[in-house]
Structure 1
């Protein structure tokens, strides 16, 4: 089973069981953001977490093995058309250079890791319209000279 087939099986089971990533994360004691990423094929899961996810969803060893497998992180290179994904793409397009300047001013020449990284998605209720709070927490990796 490849990652795409794994994702299809997981999403079908999630839908059939009427689950949310948040509920699954709580029940499995895993970050719902990390859990969704692994189940959508963009991260590998340690064996014990892969087995727990498969068991929870009533899926077999093929899904467990696919969850454990290292992903090839390739995504569509075209500008996304899904409105939510496009807006995140727009944020990086508009503020990417600003973020780079501010990060490098504070830390020096380097990057924010997407490997030593965590992310949270929170809802902030507001009478003017609920707010989305994204927290991206990555280790700073300075460029080295040799």
Structure 2
């Protein structure tokens, strides 16, 4: 069966509806399958394929349809959605990279050499930190450094 983004979107919507109906947090779902919260949330929203075991566990907990359980296991296409970029939270991440991206790159190259930080092999965490001026969002990205290897 060919990739169908509508299946992934339907699955993500069913997961979220059932999660809310059952009063569960994303973190609780992640703990249920023994995965990091950011990874599990991304998978349940359609950005990562889940193992059959993990999809079945979540499916049972949330009483998901068999179609949704299968959709959670499919390899996604990871393409940018232009409409999503206008969401205020997502837009701020774009803005952050527009402002700090060149500095991140310069600092990575200064400390590690010519290469990149892998988004494939990384750990991501989102947490809250109290601050006198208001709660702070803390986003941590722990990515593997991959040096460029130029052909000989």
TM-score (norm 2): 0.88
Give structure 1 regions of 4+ aligned residues with deviation exceeding 3 angstroms: none
How far, CA to CA, are the matches of 1:93 and 1:78 in structure 2?
A: 18
TM-score (norm 1): 0.92
Match of 2:39 in 1: 34
Task: Tell me by how many angstroms 1:61 deviates.
Answer: 2.5
Q: Which residue, out of 119, 128, 146, partners 1:123?
A: 128
Over 3 Å counting, the alpha-carbon distance change for 1:10 and 1:79 in structure 2 is closer
Q: Which residue, out of 77, 80, 83, partners 1:72?
A: 77
How far, CA to CA, are the matches of 1:28 and 1:44 in structure 2?
A: 14
How far, CA to CA, are the matches of 1:77 and 1:100 in structure 2?
A: 24
Alpha carbon RMSD of aligned pairs, Å? 1.7
Q: Which residue, out of 53, 72, 77, partners 1:48?
A: 53
Q: Aligned pairs, how many? A: 146
How far, CA to CA, are the matches of 1:16 and 1:8 in structure 2?
A: 12
1:80-119 equivalent positions in 2, closer than 5 A:
80-119=85-124
How far, CA to CA, are the matches of 1:45 and 1:78 in structure 2?
A: 25
Structure 2 gaps, min length 5:
1-5
Query: Does 1:2 find its partner at 2:7?
Result: yes
Task: Tell me by how many angstroms 1:104 deviates.
Answer: 1.0
How far, CA to CA, are the matches of 1:11 and 1:105 in structure 2?
A: 42
Task: Tell me by how many angstroms 1:20 deviates.
Answer: 1.5
